[in-house]
Amino acid sequence: MRSPAPTYAVDLNDATIDAAHAALGSALHDGRVRVGEVQLFVARDSLVTTLTALRDTPGLAYQQLMEIAGVDYPDRPERFEIVYCLLSLTRNHRVQVHVSTDEVQPVPSVTGLWPVAGWLEREVYDLFGVLFEGNADLRRILTDYGFRGHPLRKDFPQTGYNELRYSEEEKRVVYQPVQLAQDWRSFDFLSPWEGAEYTLPGDEKAALPQEKGAPTPATADQVGKADAARVAPAAPKGTDGQYAAGKTSPGQATGGDAGAKPADADVVPTPGKGQNQ
């Protein structure tokens, strides 16, 4: 044995289509090779018997269901195409089985063949709205509870219908209609590293703090210089200007101290008789 698994051979495609025609008969509408893989288009009502034959027929033996995908073609009468991706472990070969449906006609569930199909069918139902008859637990699996619409339909708006946020007033997550506020914003497409050539509204508030202790990008030295330039020290007011110049007034006590307090004319100093004198 040269390898632990059969090597991939492209010439299995034609043999697979011939074997599928022989096993499926009229249930197979078309078989083709595209991008190196076999595509089988089968009738929707005979999906379960078709997949059973592909799994159990010798020469086919596609034992595993790898994926269930959905495609939306809005211009078609049956707009949805459901694709079942099968893998044969013994032949090391893959095949795609395609069925078509619309918003109303359900697709037979294959959970009886592969239990994993229950999760995959729920995903297709959630995102495309395709119904699967026979799935005992057909619920949404990716979107939130109460979600309206199916996101992967091509007529579904990319922004959705509702948006959710946490409300501080109600202390819970609330739903509200989508608000596209940025549609009315103006973009200048300038590089953020080069910077804009104009002052954005509100940037002038960042030059100096509005009040003491307000947050500001300025450094402590810049704030100190700004405070010194804004509030200049004022000279004390005197009766005749001599106090401001460092001179004593006629009623002031002498002593050469420019900062001494002026004497009160109504107070006569006398020797005190306190406990310290």
Q: pLDDT tens digits for 163-172?
A: 888 888 888 8
Asked if residue 265 has pLDDT above 70, the reply is no
Token reading at 85: 């991706």
pTM of the predicted structure, to 2 decimals: 0.60
pLDDT at position 253: 47
Q: pLDDT tens digits for 142-189?
A: 988 778 889 999 988 877 788 888 888 888 888 888 776 665 566 666
Q: Which residue has the tokens 């929707």?
A: 44
pLDDT at position 122: 94
Size of the chain, expressed as the number of residues it contains? 277
What values do phi and psi take at 67, rounded to 5?
A: -165, 150
Helices (H), the chain: 12-24, 47-56, 117-128, 220-230
Highest-pLDDT range among 161-165, 250-254, 271-275: 161-165
CA–CA separation, 263 and 217 (whole Å): 51
Neighbours of 110 (CB within 10 A): 26
Asked if residue 271 has pLDDT above 90, the reply is no
Highest-pLDDT range among 100-114, 164-178, 221-235: 100-114
Asked if residue 257 has pLDDT above 60, the reply is no
| Helix-, strand-, coil-residue percentages of the chain, each rounded to 5 | 20, 20, 60
CA–CA separation, 120 and 69 (whole Å): 8
The three-class DSSP label of residue 267 is: coil
Strands (E), the chain: 28-34, 37-42, 64-72, 80-88, 93-101, 107-108, 132-133, 162-167, 172-177
pLDDT at position 66: 94
pLDDT at position 74: 92
